[in-house]
Structure 1
Amino acid sequence: MITTTAPPQSGTSPASRLVRHVATARETGILIALVAIIVVATISNPNFLFSSDGFRDLLLTPSLLLLVAVGSAIVIITRNVDLSVGSVVGLTAYLTGRLFIDIPGIPIIGVFAGGILFGAVLGAINGALVAFARVPALVITLGTMYIYRGINVAWTGSDRINASDLPREFRGLGTDSILGIPILTIIAVLVLVVAAWYMRNLRGGREFYAIGSDPAAAHLYGLKVTRRVISAFVVSGALAGLAGVLYAARYGTVSSAAGFGWELQAIGAAVIGGVAISGGVGTVWGAAIGAFLLLTINRALPILGIDDFWQRAVVGVLILGAIVLDRVLAVRQHRRLIAQREETR
């Protein structure tokens, strides 16, 4: 008996599937927009990229926002929102300076651990209030945003942390480079890779998506929704705490205004990067690219001679466009599922 095997269909190889996935991913469009802005700004002013400071700033400036945006994206994926991250960044940045001043000789790793733990505790407070009080996260975190900022202002007062209060080795983390890549950017990318791997490959990460897609169904399926929601806020707070520590290393000077407004930038970066505000859709990669796009636009538009008002308007248009696109894609996916269901009958 002679057996024959059907020739492999075109477009079914792993390489072709990868190419198709990359071509259709939301992140690809955002990345293309980022590259286009860099190219246009560089043509207008070559120093935007082709100078030591230009290339360094291109990588360094968005790194802190990247950390906060990744944490915000994880919370948004669970169909929640964290408006307190900017206040957590400010509190942790000032705490970092106080640790160096009040505990002379404290190890740098101890300061990092303290800042991350402090941010995680603040995030846990948010998560517990959202999970147990059954109050929308928007309301809870709006309240804690003002509470944390008020504590920061009361604690800081008219005082501030100066670069001379911080060890040179610590400040070097925010200014030094390895092979031309800023250390701060390397730290941010490592955190991004770990977060992306967890969200894609581990059960806990997949459960975040399941909860965001349909919280009621997740409850019925037996997922530990309360624990997962709290853990999402803990991660967001911890990453904001890490960003606060690195903020002190990057800028040296820390006042009560540190981190002000970062919560909206982080949410905007996540939404622009394809994280659906309704939950269950998006990746931390998209949030990271959104953070780079957001701050690169802020650097590029003045070079192109665009007024400050229009800079903010462009960001607003990007956010609205991302939300509309999410809605269009959701409707198309719903219609496709209905059509497939009718075909199988």
Structure 2
Amino acid sequence: MSDATAPTRQAEPDTRPEPPAAADPDRSARSLVDAVFRARELAIGGALALLILATWLANHRFLDDQGVKDLLLNSSILVLLAVGQSVVVLTRNIDLSVGSVVGLTAFACGQFVKGSGHGPLTVCLLGIAIGAACGLLSGLLVSFGRVPALVVTLGMLYIIQGFDYWWAHGEQINAADIPDDVLGLGSGSVLGIPYLPLISAVVLAVTATYLRAYRSGRELYAIGSSPQAARLAGIPLRRRVFGAYLFSGSVAGFAGALWLARFGTVVADAANGWELTVVSAVVVGGVAISGGTGSVWGAALGALLLTTIGSALVVLRVDSFWQQAITGLLLLAAIATDRVLHLRTTNALRKRSRQ
């Protein structure tokens, strides 16, 4: 039989398995970083739970109804400030003026409502406006003036404190002069839960959603990770940093209004020294001081941990000096942990990118 009349042989289908698709290195990198910092937040939550359990075993009154309510009230304002500070620290900056902003707005709001019939909404709006003005000035100098954040916010701290002392002249705002509706915001509750922790939780949840779900929020992480790369990617660096300071100032002003509602009695040096406590809470909570990593949830846990330590020491009748010492140790440990995690994560990402 000739080749022309030979039957045609059909090609057999290739049944060999296809090689597995290469993993997306960017997705793997994000997953690794997310896993690292989820573990960090879980560790903070575990330490908080152990601290609460140990204190309760030593004194069962620590977790009675009033004890839990006091713990929530004492931590609510610090949680608010930690949320605002976190947004700034994520951009590789810092805001040391938040404590003085709280003192100024608390005193200003007290003077405004003293002997008047203004309600809590007016007080909160006034506090936010004053805090936003302070944040606006800091943001302009840092973002558009390109002055180092440490210098700007430290200068703002002293300027605001000096103005507050000059304005107060030793005067004190008394709870008897504050309308009952305003004081009710700080002492009232719904279903047994005080208003202030609920307000802090709402601000925390909204901020966390913004940072994770919106492009402008994710750009804050990009700025903190690498300002040069963020600029090359077309991210408006100055506007985002300016917005972070505006938000931090507004939150601090809001916290000042709540401080007035919570305590009623306000002096010129209210919240004096809180700026370092806020920074400690943020760093202990896993927000890297070098920017770009962390979450507001972790910062809130850090604030709750520091507040619980203070309350536990009081319950256990330990000298308050140890609270500052423990806070300092936690801060150093958090910075060291951040450095170790950064180095290990960077090495792991480099190995994955080579595969």
Q: For each residue in 1:1-20, what CA deviation from the matched residue of structure 2 results, as whole angstroms up to 9, or x when unmatched?
A: 9x9xxxxxxxxxxxxx9xx9
Deviation at 1:310, TM superposition (A): 2.5
Q: 2:107 aligns with which of 88, 91, 94?
A: 94
**How many Å separate the matches in 1 of 2:323 and 2:78?**
18
1:33-72 alignment runs, 5 A limit: 33-49=47-63, 51-72=64-85
Correspondence 1:254-273 to 2 at 5 A: 254-273=266-285
Given that 1:199 and 1:206 are in contact with CA atoms closer than 8 Å, whether structure 2 keeps it comes out as: yes
Q: Are positions 1:199 and 2:230 aligned together?
A: no
Larger radius of gyration: 2
- Structure 1 residue 341: Cα displacement: 2.7
Identity percentage over the alignment?
50
Runs of 5+ unmatched residues, structure 2: 1-12, 16-30
Q: Report what 2:322 is aligned to.
A: 310
- CA-CA distance at 1:98 after TM superposition: 1.3
Q: Distance in 1 between matches of 2:37 and 2:141?
A: 41
What do the CA deviations read for 1:215-246 (whole angstroms, capped 9, x no partner)?
11111111111011010001100000010000
Segment drifting more, 66-75 vs 52-61: 52-61
Q: Which residue of 1 aligns with 2:9?
A: none
Which amino acid counterpart does residue 31 of structure 1 have in structure 2? Answer: G
Cα distance in 2 between the residues matched to 1:62 and 1:271: 16
Distance 2:352 2:37 in 1: 23
- The partner residue of 1:81 within 91, 94, 116 is 94
1:6 equivalent in structure 2 = none
Distance 2:74 2:341 in 1: 32
How many residue pairs align between the two structures?
327
1:227 counterpart = 2:227: no
Tell me, yes or no, if the aligned pair for 2:75 and 2:307 is still in contact at 8 Å.
Answer: yes
Cα distance between partner residues in 1 of 2:129 and 2:321:
38
What secondary structure, in the 3-state scheme, does the structure 1 residue paired with 2:114 have?
Answer: helix
* Shift in CA distance, 111/304, structure 1 to aligned 2, threshold 3 Å: closer
Q: Distance in 2 between matches of 1:216 and 1:22?
A: 24
1:118 counterpart = 2:130: yes
Asked if 2 retains the 8 angstrom alpha-carbon contact of 1:69 and 1:270, the reply is yes
Q: Aligned runs of 1:167-246 on 2, under 5 Å?
A: 167-246=179-258
AA at the equivalent of 1:80: N
Equivalent pair of 2:37/2:294 in contact (CA under 8 Å): no
**In the alignment, residue 293 of structure 1 is paired with which amino acid?**
L
Residue number among 275, 278, 296 corresponding to 2:308 in the alignment = 296
| Matching residue's letter, 1:338 | R
Shift of 1:161: 0.8
- C-alpha contact (below 8 Å) 2:118/2:179 kept by paired residues: no
Letter in 2 for 1:317: L
Q: For 1:53 and 1:134, how far apart are their aligned partners in 2?
A: 48
Q: Given residue 85 of structure 2, which amino acid in structure 1 is its aligned partner?
A: S
Q: Which moved more, 1:119-128 or 1:109-118?
A: 109-118
Cα distance in 2 for residues equivalent to 1:23 and 1:230: 26
Q: Among 4, 16, 26, which residue is 2:40 paired with?
A: 26
Aligned residues of 1:22 and 1:28 also touching (Cα < 8 A) = no
- Partner amino acid, structure 1, of 2:326: V
Distance change >3 Å, CA 27–CA 307, structure 1 → 2 = same
Runs of 4+ in 1 over 6 A off after TM superposition: none
Query: What residue in structure 1 maps to residue 148 of structure 2?
Result: 136
Shift of 1:25: 2.5
How far apart in 2 are the matches of 1:242 and 1:252? 15
Normalised to the residue count of structure 2, the TM-score between the two structures is 0.88
Structure 2 CA distance, aligned partners of 1:268 and 1:279? 14
Give the whole-Å Cα distance in 1 for the aligned partners of 2:146 and 2:130: 24
d(CA) in 2 for partners of 1:338, 1:210: 18
Give how far 1:301 is off: 2.2
The Cα of 1:24 is off from its aligned counterpart by 4.6
d(CA) in 2 for partners of 1:22 and 1:268?
20
CA–CA separation in structure 1 for the residues paired with 2:322 and 2:350? 42
Residues 31-71 of structure 1 show CA distances to partners (whole Å, capped at 9, x for unaligned) of 1111111100010000011x221111121110001111110
Contact 1:273 1:286 in 2 (8 A): yes
Q: d(CA) in 2 for partners of 1:136 and 1:21? A: 32
Matches within 5 A, 1:132-171: 132-171=144-183
Deviations 1:228-285 (A, max 9, x none): 1010001100000010000000000010111101111110000000000000011000
How does the TM-score come out when normalised to structure 1?
0.91
CA contact (8 A) 2:37 2:286 kept: no
Which amino acid in structure 1 is aligned with residue 343 of structure 2?
V
